[in-house]
Amino acid sequence: MSVKCIINVSHNGKLYSIGDTITDITLTDAEKLIECGAVLKIDNKFKKSYGDVQQVLKNKFKKNKRFMEELQYAKF
């Protein structure tokens, strides 16, 4: 499994900066970090091309931006 850090993360004694990709992570550890909002899930495989990773991140941020715009105009 691969995840991309969106904040600084310490995992297994190693510090990861914003934008780093963690590939040596178990499924349960990755799910915990995703639930905390510290990382974004990239894929379940270990090797992806740079373009594929960038496309996944672009789609994630596009969805988040759209969600925030909907919240801004939503009437509660």
Q: Give the tens place of pLDDT for each residue, 46-61.
A: 555 566 777 777 777 7
Residue 39, Cβ neighbours under 10 Å: how many? 25
Query: Would you kindly state where each structural domain of the chain is located, as residue ranges?
Result: 2-73
SS3 state at 17: coil
Which of 19, 14, 18 lies closest to 29 in space, CA to CA?
14
The size of the chain, in residues, is: 76
pLDDT, one tens digit per residue, over 12-66 is 889 999 999 998 888 888 889 989 989 998 876 655 556 677 777 777 777 777 7
